[in-house]
């Protein structure tokens, strides 16, 4: 059965070998110092972009930063870390001659870092290079390029929208011009004042003819009444008057029929012209209202151009770093010191356990031999 752990013996064992531990720590620290001093220096500069909400947004809603809105802002991380922008930066700063002929993807992972600060609208773009001034220039270039690219995308969208609305306005103007032309032709070629005057004259003439019909019919009735009591020459005169009255009645009735047909035709023409004018007038009013609405929307769209999406501004172009970001001397020395301390302690612990196990095995053999002798 293994013996219980003896803390005092363990501490004493470690104290007896403190030189080993000290030598290990000193060696690790010296190696860390040598390696750190000989490692190439890397400098990191950080530029910051603030993402403002659209200009037309409600200020209260703009102040309320929701998780969904913050998640949507990660789109700008992809824009800032795009391959096309980094390729432009590689050509501008000649990164291949500075960092070697590494693939663009691996070089971008080493050089560029883009992060959206947690729970804020701040986008940080960091560039890491052996040259401090070039690191700052790279970070500022990527920030400025991100802002310019975003603005160009928004501007292109506004341009497409304005172009579509201007085309719609042009088509509406052309349609309204066609309706106005038809309206003018209708006024010139389809007059209604003369028809209305003719219909009014026909109505007055009809009333006159109808009155004449009544009068003639009254004459005929009077002649028939006088014919009953007349004789001789008077009877002949009455019959002649009655015959003339019948002839006039037939003529008046023919005039009434002709007037009725002509009035019906004129009313039909007048109704068609009025209906055509009403249709043109309604179309003109509708097109004019559509044109007014389109002009209002177009004026508003032109005023809002460039402010529909989020607005990006470089609030901090970064400064030339004065201290390298790597290698970190305190970090490397601390890690080496910890490693130089842990490794010998671990080794000595294992060695102590092995020695105790061997000693325990020898004691067990001796007890067994002693017991066999006694028996």
Domain count, the chain: 2
* Average pLDDT score, the chain: 83
Q: Categorize the per-residue pLDDT at 161 as very low, low, confident or very high, splitting at 50, 70 and 90.
A: confident
Claim to verify: residue 174 and residue 295 sit in the same structural domain: yes
Residue 126, phi then psi, degrees to nearest 5: -115, 140
Cis peptide before 307 (omega within 30 of 0): no
Give which of 141, 132, 33, 142 is closest to 81, Cα–Cα.
Answer: 142
- Range with the poorest average pLDDT among 62-71, 117-126, 159-168, 329-338: 62-71
Q: Which domain holds residue 335?
A: 1-37+327-368
Q: Can you tell me the mean pLDDT for 20-32?
A: 86
296 and 358 both lie in a single domain: no
In DSSP terms, 129 is beta-bridged to: 43
What pLDDT, on a 0 to 100 scale, did the predictor assign at position 140? 93
Statement to judge: residues 286 and 172 lie in one domain: yes
Of the two residues 54 and 373, the one the predictor is more confident about is: 54
pLDDT of 205 > 80? The answer is yes
Statement to judge: residues 363 and 283 lie in one domain: no
Tell me: do 239 and 343 sit in the same domain: no
pLDDT of residue 37: 75
For residue 363, pLDDT over 70 is answered with no
pLDDT of 51 strictly over 60: yes
**Cα(287)–Cα(285) distance, integer angstroms:** 6
Q: Is residue 342 domain-resident? A: yes
- Do residues 319 and 136 touch, judged by C-beta distance below 8 A? yes
Same domain, 239 and 351: no
Q: Is the dihedral of CA 96, 98, 99, 101 positive or negative?
A: positive
Kindly state the average pLDDT of the residues 192-220: 87
How confident is the model over 302-325, as pLDDT tens digits? 777 656 667 888 999 989 988 888
Looking at residue 248, its pLDDT comes to: 87
Asked if 174 and 260 sit in the same domain, the reply is yes
Last residue of a domain, one of 250, 272, 304: 304
Q: What is the mean pLDDT of residues 17-40?
A: 83
Predicted local confidence at residue 2, as pLDDT? 43
* Mean pLDDT computed over 60-69: 59
Say which CATH number the domain at 234 has.
Answer: 1.10.287
Q: Is residue 179 part of a domain?
A: yes
Residue 312 counted as domain residue? no
Mean pLDDT of 342-348: 84
pLDDT over 50 at 241, yes or no:
yes
Whether residue 178 lies inside any domain: the answer is yes
pLDDT score for 324: 83
Residue 106 domain-assigned (yes or no)? no
Asked if pLDDT for residue 137 goes beyond 60, the answer is yes
In a domain, 186, yes or no: yes
Q: For residues 176-202, give the mean pLDDT.
A: 87
The count of other CB atoms within 10 Å of the CB of residue 177 is: 11
Give the pLDDT confidence of 213-237 residue by residue, as tens digits: 888 888 888 878 877 776 677 777 8
Instruction: Give the confidence band of 125 by pLDDT, cuts at 50, 70, 90.
Output: very high
**pLDDT tens digits, residue range 264-293?**
998 898 898 889 889 988 988 999 999 899
Q: What is the mean pLDDT of residues 160-180?
A: 89
Do the domain assignments include residue 172?
A: yes
SS3 state of residue 188:
helix
Please return the burial class of 244, using the count of CB atoms within 10 Å of its CB with bins 0-12, 13-18 and 19+. Answer: middle
């Amino acid at each position: 059965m293994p013996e219980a752990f003896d803390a005092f013996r363990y501490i004493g064992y470690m104290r007896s070998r403190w030189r080993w531990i000290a030598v290990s720590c000193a060696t690790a620290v010296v190696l860390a110092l040598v390696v750190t001093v000989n490692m190439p220096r890397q400098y990191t500069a950080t530029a910051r972009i603030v993402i403002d909400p659209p200009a037309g947004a409600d200020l209260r809603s703009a102040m309320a930063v929701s998780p969904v809105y913050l998640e949507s802002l990660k789109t700008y991380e992809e824009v800032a870390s795009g391959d096309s922008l980094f390729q432009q930066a590689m050509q501008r700063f000649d990164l291949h001659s500075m960092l070697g002929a590494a693939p663009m993807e691996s070089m971008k992972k080493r050089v560029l870092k883009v992060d959206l600060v947690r729970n804020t609208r701040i986008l940080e773009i960091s560039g890491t290079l052996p040259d401090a001034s070039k690191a700052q220039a790279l970070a500022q270039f990527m920030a400025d390029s991100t802002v310019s690219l975003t603005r160009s995308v928004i501007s292109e969208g506004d341009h497409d929208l304005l172009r579509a609305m201007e085309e719609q306005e042009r088509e509406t103007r052309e349609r309204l011009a066609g309706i106005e032309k038809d309206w003018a032709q209708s006024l010139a070629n389809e007059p209604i004042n003369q028809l209305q005057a003719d219909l009014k004259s026909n109505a007055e003439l009809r009333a006159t003819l109808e009155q004449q019909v009544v009068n003639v019919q009254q004459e005929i009735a009077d002649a028939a009444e006088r014919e009953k009591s007349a004789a001789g020459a008077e009877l002949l005169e009455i019959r002649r008057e009655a015959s003339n009255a019948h002839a006039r009645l037939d003529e008046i009735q023919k005039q009434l029929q002709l007037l009725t047909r002509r009035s019906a035709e004129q009313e039909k023409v007048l109704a068609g012209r009025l209906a055509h004018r009403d249709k043109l007038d309604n179309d003109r009013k509708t097109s004019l209202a559509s044109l007014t609405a389109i002009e209002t929307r177009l004026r508003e769209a032109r005023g809002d151009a460039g402010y529909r999406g989020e607005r990006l501004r470089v609030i901090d172009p970064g400064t030339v770093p004065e201290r390298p970001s790597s290698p970190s001397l305190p970090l490397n020395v601390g890690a080496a010191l910890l490693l130089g301390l842990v490794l010998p302690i671990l080794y000595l612990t294992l060695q102590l356990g092995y020695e105790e196990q061997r000693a325990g095995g020898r004691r067990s053999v001796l007890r067994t031999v002693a017991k066999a002798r006694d028996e």
